[in-house]
Structure 1
Amino acid sequence: MSAIEGLRRREPGVYRVRGGTALAERRLRAWGWRVATLGAAPGGTKDDLLGAVGDALGFPDWYGRNLDALADCLTDLAAPTALVLAGWPWPEDLPGWAGVREVLDERIADTRWPAFAVVLDQTA
């Protein structure tokens, strides 16, 4: 079974793929997911990371590039959404990543809203 097969059923979670994210992105769109792709890891600051996530997800102008604003905007998603991190690891040691990961994990676990998932390219 594919690493992203659960997404066909709109199951939230963190999904890992190998060999790039292009096929996963096509499948997600075909299954009705909104797909936001974050390319290679941005600069090393928390602001860079939060800005890149906000840009990828098309957050509104009031998005403040902080963890509270990230949490608020993630609850405003109107459709099942997958944040695809192409070429990203899922480590704890990237500056600012631990807090962002915590917010993403909380959103994934919150079933009151449309499904949210993170797709990681584990090729390397």
Structure 2
Amino acid sequence: MSLIRLDARNWRTRADFWAALLPALGAPDWHGPNLDALYDGLVAGDNRVRPPLTVEILVPTPLPADLVAYLDRVRCVFDDAARDTGLDIGLRRTITRDSG
């Protein structure tokens, strides 16, 4: 099981999320920053990091509400990929104490 931890401390936009996630997954250069491409990459095994995997987003500070809503949609993509492949594919958010 691969565990990818992403620090969301400085995230304010969707672009910040994608800039962290895609390299962590080892996504190919042609991978788009969108939910359809994310699903395809998880299901087809296009990423260097393949299931079983969990992405844990460490959230030390409140995130903008629209980004939180988007991350809920991202979690649904992970859930759909897990259901459709039968593999352990997950995403979770963990609230942490901001040490800065």
- Into which bin does the TM-score normalised by the smaller protein fall? 0.5 to 0.7
Q: State how far apart, in whole Å, the 1-side matches of 2:43 and 2:53 are.
A: 11
| Residue 114 (structure 1) aligned with residue 87 (structure 2) | yes
Cα 1:98–1:82 change in 2 (3 A) is closer
Q: 1:56 to 1:94 in 2, by over 3 A?
A: farther
CA distance in 2, matches of 1:35, 1:72: 20
Picking from 56, 72, 87, the partner of 2:40 is 72
What number of residue pairs does the alignment pair up?
90
Q: TM-score, normalised by structure 2?
A: 0.66
Larger RCO, structures 1/2 (Cα 8 Å, 6+ apart): 1
Q: Is the 8 A contact 2:75 2:92 kept in 1?
A: no
* Root-mean-square deviation (Å): 2.8
| CA pair 97-37 structure 1, distance change in 2 beyond 3 A | same
The residue number in structure 2 matching 1:101 is 75
- The correspondence for 2:59, drawn from 57, 67, 87, is 87
Paired residue type of 1:103:
V
Structure 2 unaligned regions, length at least 5: none
CA shift in 2, pair 1:39/1:114, >3 Å: same
Task: Give the alignment partner of residue 20 of structure 2, picking from 44, 47, 52.
Answer: 52
Question: What amino acid sits opposite 2:26 in the alignment?
Answer: G
SS at the partner of 1:120? strand
Structure with the largest fraction of helix: 2
Q: For the residues of structure 1 that align with 2:73 and 2:94, how far apart are their CA atoms?
A: 21
Whether the aligned pair in 1 keeps the contact of 2:8 and 2:17 (CA below 8 Å) is no
**Contact map agreement 1:34 1:80 (CA 8 A) in 2:** yes
TM-score normalized by the length of structure 1:
0.56
Please state whether the residue corresponding to 2:75 is helix, strand or coil.
helix
Alpha-carbon spacing, 1:58–1:123, altered in 2? closer, same or farther (3 Å): same
